[in-house]
Chains A and B, each alone.
Chain A
């Protein structure tokens, strides 16, 4: 199995972009990671412009880190990914997209 995870990630800055678009990332990963770790790795090593919520509560209960993974809403901190997977990550919905994967809380 390849030590890589391929991801299509939703990008959108309503101030600058006419339409949301998907950006492709190929991330070298050789172990099981959570979606939240995966986003942190992209932010740190590949693309500092990606916006998402970095908060974590260590028990999968605050729901601040929810995203849509392959069309399904998941808690990013407790959902694992394995090397070799190809995935799509979008904002969780339920509110206005502020930027990229960040959704306005006021609507949650």
Chain B
């Protein structure tokens, strides 16, 4: 890339899919199977980057008689998801997830994903908190295996072209319609626009806007900023799910997930304890929003460990070390060995310090049951899409969503593209992005490096936008973010074409500022406590005023926050005791 002359290469296709994780792969496969051409662009490498490879074994599907417990059903899955989401997930979308989950898992099996089965062929399923019947299908080698298989399936389709190391930073429009994306091929430094008939965003969440996160550092909410700037509605960003037991010490393995769900009698039968070894989480295990509250409170009361965590301890398990090791070797083999290799810690024979960390974006881009956003031509699926997990997500719902809503968004994006012509983007829509690049590359008197700005954002989010938050703290956080926004203008990056890591960091920081501001805005707007959003100044759940979505819309570049009714189909809150 030469800064004086930012030449733009243009590509065209029917459907462009942004992302390379589970949802993006599934959407692209669906587009291809419907006969449309597809370009899939991934910031890293499909099958090996994004959040899906970090996932564990658990993908929910109500197989009933074909699984572990014949009493299970899509209706029960639907109800469990709605209840866990504290009744603010849109049920038209939850229905798609619950009622198509089994079919999508059979698709995965057809692609080559290996599931653990009983001898008679039924799906083996693990019980997870919040599931009325054990519903989590078990993938050997966990999310990494799933990602690799899906990426391989993508590569079998001749009408999908994959661009790796391709960082998308903007949506292109013409007269209010989304007509593609703009990004940079990191390998060559070439700026590329992809002009499409429909566009699917499947870029994962914003969880690494927080410094203590168990997600890859690349997940800082790019798509929220892009969608907002293009004018798409966002929803429920205040609900960032924390996971209760991520490693907090030592730093070399900070953020590694060790599952509290493995502490039940069927598995490791250990305990989460305070600094004195006193168990703090009762069995049956609570669901995630309840688990994190218990752990946060123990730490707040001064019963936490040296590094502000609690102990994940299997050493007193009545099963003994060998049996516990067998559980880790079978259920989460990669994580188990990683902790030994990187930190010298064998969790089958010594406790490890854990604490709640940023884990999953429950809200996101507002969609309907077809994966359509509020903008014509734009679809979203996977973690970056909102309004169906509600205020809290069940174990096994994230991967399940990637496949169910991934296929759905792919289907409607493909069908939509059959009816449309290619419309080129407005010049102004490209120019605004080129201006951003030119500014980063131009010489400046004071040079700011993006990495330090990003650190400020992450620190502010950790400090003021953790699951327990207040008006005062959120306003402090917001003023820090506003300060960072001014500094972004001063970023200077060297004009290097090939793999310009500093430029990627600079653009990510700019997008992260938006995502952080909108998240804090949503958290300030909702004056109640629900799921993963706990306002210490409004500690009660307020169903009268707040059993609704927080909608963020773009009014001339400024965010406007409003309420919108939740869509109830099968289960109205008033019908539940």
Contact with A along B246-287 (1 / 0, CB 8 A): 000011110111000000000000000000000000000000
- Chain A, residue nearest B452 (CB): A44
In the bound complex, residues from chain B placing their C-beta under 8 Å from that of A105 are 45, 164-165
The stretch of A1-9, A19-27, A77-85 in contact with B is: A77-85
Once the chains bind, are A43 and B252 in contact (CB under 8 Å)? no
A48-B449 in contact (CB<8A): yes
A49 to B29, CA, bound (A): 38
B113 CB to nearest chain A CB (Å): 16
Q: A13-B498, A64-B44 are in contact. Are A55 and B341 (CB under 8 A)?
A: no
Interface residues of A in 21-65 (CB under 8 A from B): 31-34, 37, 43-44, 48-64
Contact with B along A59-73 (1 / 0, CB 8 A): 111111000000000
In the complex, which residues of chain A have a beta carbon less than 8 angstroms from the beta carbon of B257?
58
Q: Across the two chains, which residue of chain B brings its CB closest to A49?
A: B494
Q: Across the interface, do B217 and A34 meet the contact criterion of CB distance under 8 Å?
A: no
Count how many chain B residues have C-beta atoms less than 8 Å from C-beta atoms of the other chain: 40
Bound together, the chains give a CA A13 to CA B344 distance in angstroms of 36
Query: Is B338 an interface residue, CB under 8 A from the partner?
Result: yes
B473 at the binding interface (Cβ < 8 Å)? no
Contact call A64/B252, Cβ cutoff below 8 A? no
- B141: which A residues are within 8 A, CB to CB? 61
Is the beta-carbon distance between A34 and B252 smaller than 8 angstroms? yes
Across the interface, do A33 and B252 meet the contact criterion of CB distance under 8 Å? yes
**Cα A34 to Cα B216 with chains together (Å):** 16
Which of B48-56, B117-125, B222-230, B433-441 contacts its partner? B48-56
**Is residue B497 within 8 Å, beta carbon to beta carbon, of the partner chain?**
yes
Contacts of B338 in A (CB 8 A): 58-61, 77-78
Q: CB distance B54 to A57 under 8 Å?
A: yes
In B461-496, the 8 Å CB interface with A consists of: 494, 496
Nearest CB in chain B: distance from A31 CB, A:
8
Known contacts: A61-B53, A64-B45. The answer to whether A13 contacts B496 by CB under 8 A is yes
Beta-carbon contact of B214 and A58 below 8 Å: yes
Name A108's closest neighbour in chain B (CB-CB).
B45
Counting CB contacts under 8 A, is B303 at the interface? no
Is the pair A59, B218 in contact by a Cβ cutoff of 8 Å?
no
Residue-wise, chain A 65-108 has the 8 Å CB interface mask toward B (1 for contact) of 00000000000011110000000000000000011101011101
Task: Report the minimum CB–CB distance from B231 to chain A (whole Å).
Answer: 31
Q: A77-B342, A80-B344 are in contact. Are A54 and B256 (CB under 8 A)?
A: no
**Contact assessment for A60 and B49 in the assembled complex, using a CB-CB cutoff below 8 Å:** no
A57-B144, A64-B49, A99-B496 given as contacts; is B449 within 8 A of A79 (CB)? no
Shortest A91–chain B CB gap in Å is: 11
Partner of A60 from the list B45, B187, B334, B344 (CB cut-off 8 Å) is: B334
* B337, CB-defined interface residue at 8 Å: yes
CB within 8 Å for A58 and B499 given contacts A48-B449, A49-B494: no
Q: Would you give the shortest CB distance from B479 to chain A, in whole angstroms?
A: 25
- Residues of B close to A61: CB separation below 8 A: 53, 141, 144, 334, 338
Name the interface residues of B333-351: CB closer than 8 Å to any CB of A.
334-335, 337-338, 341-344
Q: Report the bound CA distance from A104 to B165 in whole Å.
A: 9
Also in contact, A62 and B501, with CB within 8 A (given A43-B451, A78-B338): no
B48 touching A64 by the CB < 8 A rule? yes
Q: Is B33 an interface residue (CB 8 A)?
A: no
B502 within 8 A of A: yes
Q: Which residue in A34, A53, A98 is a CB contact (below 8 Å) of B342?
A: A34
Q: List 25 A-B contacts (CB under 8 A).
A: A14-B498, A15-B498, A32-B250, A37-B252, A48-B502, A50-B501, A53-B44, A54-B217, A55-B216, A55-B217, A57-B54, A57-B144, A57-B216, A58-B216, A58-B338, A60-B337, A60-B338, A61-B141, A77-B342, A79-B341, A80-B342, A99-B496, A104-B187, A105-B164, A108-B45
Interface residues of chain B, those whose CB is within 8 Å of chain A, are: 44-45, 48-49, 53-54, 141, 144, 164-165, 187, 214, 216-218, 250-253, 255-257, 334-335, 337-338, 341-344, 449, 451, 494, 496-502
- Besides the contacts A32-B250, A58-B335, what 15 more A-B pairs have beta carbons closer than 8 Å? A33-B252, A34-B252, A37-B252, A43-B451, A48-B449, A51-B499, A54-B218, A55-B44, A55-B49, A57-B54, A60-B341, A62-B49, A79-B342, A99-B496, A105-B45
